[in-house]
Structures are given as C-alpha cells and as structure tokens.
Amino acid sequence: MNLVRTILVTSDVPVVILLVYTAVVYKALQGALKVFSWFVFFSAAVQLISLALWCLHINNLPLVHIYVPGVFFCLALYYKTVLGNSVNGNILSYTSWLFVAFSVANTLFVQSLFIFNSYALVVEAVLLIILSLFTFLFFLNDTVRDKGMPDRNSHAWINSGIFVYHLSSLLIYYFSNVTIFGATAAIRKYPWIFHSFFSIVMYCCFLIGLWKRSKVRD
Amino acid sequence: MEAVKSSGLIEILLPMLAIVFIVAVGVVMLYMHFQKNLFAQTLEKERLKNTHQADLLRSNMLTQEEERKRIAHDLHDELGAALSIMRMHIMMMEQNNSDVPAISSGLQNLRTLSETALSSMRGISHRLCHPSWKRLAL
C-alpha cells in the first residue's frame, strides 16, 4: 500500500472511532446531540461502504449522490434543533427539502451517477458555511449566554468542525470533476489528500464535541 | 493538453486550499477568543455588581447605625434629662407634702412610675447602642 493510499484510508479512522463512541454514548445523548448522532451514523455508514467499494475497485461515486442530500438533511435538522426559536424552523425545513429536490434533480438531469455531483456539493457547502457562521453569532448572543444553553461547548466544537471542513473543501468540490477526470493519475490525488486532512480535522472536532458534552445525565 | 491544464489548476489549487484552511481555522480561533473575552467580561460584570451590592449594603447599615446612635443619644440626653427633672420635682413635692398621706402616696406612685420610665429609657438607649450592632456596621 503506497503513502497516498495509506493517507486516504487513514482519514476513515476518526470516522470509525466517532461511530463507536457515538454508539456507546447514544442512550445518554439528548436534544441536538441526539440528532447529531443520526448524522454520525449515516455519514459513517456511507463512508465505510464507500471505502469498501474503493478497496474492491468498484466505482463509489453513486454513493456521493446519496451522501450529499442525506448529510444536508441531517445537519439541517441538527441546526434546527440547536438554533431553536432563534430561526423560523420552517425556513430550515423548506431549505433542506428544496436542497434534497435540487440534489435529486441534479443527479437525474445534470450530473449523472458516475460524475462527481459538484454542483450539489458546492451548494451544500455554501449553505452549511452560512448556517455555521450564523450559529457562531447565535452562540455569542447575550441572551443565549445569559440563558445558559446546555452542551453549548459541544455544539461550538461540532459547528467549528462543520465550518472548517466545508469552507476548506469548497474549492475541491468546485473543481472536483476537473481534478478527478482531467489531471494525470499522479497529481489528481493531491487535492483528495488535503480533503482527507480536512475530514480528519472535522471528525476530531466532532469527537471533542461529543466528549465535552455535559456528562451529568450519564 | 487537457491533463496538463488540469495539473496546472491543481498546482494553483493546493496552496489555495492551504490558505482557505488557515482562514477557516482563524475564524474558529477568533470565535473562541471572542467567546473567552465575553465570558471574562460577564465575570467582571458580575464581580462589579456584587461589589456594588456589598457597598450598598454596607452604606445602608452605616446609615442605620448612625440613626440608631442619634435616637439613643436623643433618648438619653433629652427624654432622660426631662424624666430626671420630673423625678426630682416629684421628690421635692413629696418632701413638701409628707404630712398629707393621700398626696404623699400619690406622689410616691408618680415617682415610682417616673423611675420605671427612666430605667426603661436607659435600657432602650443602651440596646440601641449595643456592641453587636457596632460590629455589624464595621
């Protein structure tokens, strides 16, 4: 196994650790963290299947077309729970359903199953960046601080992971089809090494977030 | 030709990715710094609020202590003096009317009452200036 392959496979290690940890503490999780755990299960399941297909030299691009709307749906639900009454819940619900519809339409009519769904990924990343920035502002709000939101530190870590990953990966998504199909085999893996690094950072933030949750209820 | 163009794009893309990542981490660190500052500000605000409340309480107690002292002195100096003079006059009247038993007995009762009033007044005055109050007002 060469170095690039090792790095790409290593990026799935935090996913497995997070999956196991989330499964262990699942019963103790409450509120938004419980919703977040659904994202972890979905994301980990798709990524592990994707890794297995990659190892078997089977094209795993169709999985991305399921992964993108699924992840956005889970994260929109998570943000809806975190932000509570600060944002009209209908806005997030409509956005997530519209995004799912857009993603499906994109797969059916624009970017087929065997092409990277870069448009959907870019839109997803932009929406999640906006949501995460809004959540940062929400956490800095005087009312929220005075009221004392439970597990705020955990949500701040999770939100940071989402923000760093999606902002850093935005350019990779935008140029994904060029980098996958255009460049030579030797060079086209480099953006994905960066992507793996960003993914590791994100899952580490998630792990810290879940670890730092209020353990009074456990 | 297409592969060369794509390779060139990736060569530009990689440093851009590093820059964007640093910016993203910077934003998160800035957020954490803000949050820390806000927390410190909240703590400082609470501390100032507590100090202000303690000052108010202390000032309130000092005012109460001053008022108690004033009342005690007024009682002792004015009412006490008046009662003492009254008692003295009754005693003089008692001496002058010692041969009339009915008046003497009435004056004796009056003297006893004035002495009781004087004693009660001294007790109240003393309690108003009790050392425990002084300790509290420190």
Q: Which positions in chain A touch B17 (Cβ < 8 Å)?
A: 168, 171-172, 191, 194
pLDDT at B133 (0 to 100): 54
CB of A204 closer than 8 Å to CB of A157: no
Test the A interface: residue of B11, B20, B38 with most A CBs within 10 Å: B20
User: Would the pLDDT of A164 be above 70?
Assistant: yes
Are A172 and B17 within 8 A, CB to CB? Answer: yes
User: Would the pLDDT of A212 be above 70?
Assistant: yes
Which range among A124-128, A184-188, A214-218, B129-133 has the greatest average pLDDT? A124-128
pLDDT at A10 (0 to 100): 84
pLDDT at B42 (0 to 100): 85
User: Would the pLDDT of A33 be above 50?
Assistant: yes
CB atoms within 10 A of CB B19: 12
CB of A121 closer than 8 Å to CB of A115: no
Region A92-121 average pLDDT: 90
User: Would the pLDDT of B118 be above 50?
Assistant: yes
pLDDT, tens digit (0-9, with 9 covering 90-100), for B32-90: 998 888 888 888 999 999 999 999 999 999 999 889 889 888 888 888 889 999 999 99
Check residues B2 and A11 and name the one with the higher pLDDT.
Answer: A11
Are B20 and A191 within 8 A, CB to CB? Answer: no
Residue in A closest to B16 by C-alpha: A171
Does A4 touch chain B if contact means CB atoms closer than 8 Å?
no
Residue in B closest to A129 by C-alpha: B24
pLDDT band at B138, cuts 50/70/90? very low
pLDDT at A12 (0 to 100): 87
Region B9-28 average pLDDT: 86
User: Would the pLDDT of A85 be above 50?
Assistant: yes
Please give, rounded to a whole number of angstroms, the shortest distance from the CA of B54 to a CA of chain A: 22
Q: Which positions in chain A touch B23 (Cβ < 8 Å)?
A: 167
Q: For chain A, what percent of residues have pLDDT higher than 70?
A: 94
Are B13 and A198 within 8 A, CB to CB? Answer: no
Complex confidence, ipTM: 0.79
From the CA atom positions of chain A, what is the Rg in Å? Answer: 18
What is chain A's mean pLDDT, rounded?
87
Long-range contacts (CB closer than 8 Å, 24 or more residues apart) made by B21-24: B21/A164, B21/A167, B21/A168, B21/A194, B21/A198, B23/A167, B24/A163, B24/A164, B24/A167, B24/A168
CB atoms within 10 A of CB A188: 18
Q: Which positions in chain A touch B15 (Cβ < 8 Å)?
A: none
Q: Which positions in chain B touch A172 (Cβ < 8 Å)?
A: 13, 17
Are B17 and A182 within 8 A, CB to CB? Answer: no
Please give, rounded to a whole number of angstroms, the shortest distance from the CA of A64 to a CA of chain B: 21
User: Would the pLDDT of B3 be above 80?
Assistant: no
Name the A residues in 108-147 with CB < 8 Å from any B CB. Answer: 136, 139-140, 145
Are B34 and A188 within 8 A, CB to CB? Answer: no
pLDDT, tens digit (0-9, with 9 covering 90-100), for B92-107: 998 888 888 888 888 8
Find the range with the poorest average confidence among A48-57, A176-185, B7-16: A176-185
pLDDT band at B6, cuts 50/70/90? low
pLDDT at B136 (0 to 100): 52
Quote the pTM value: 0.76
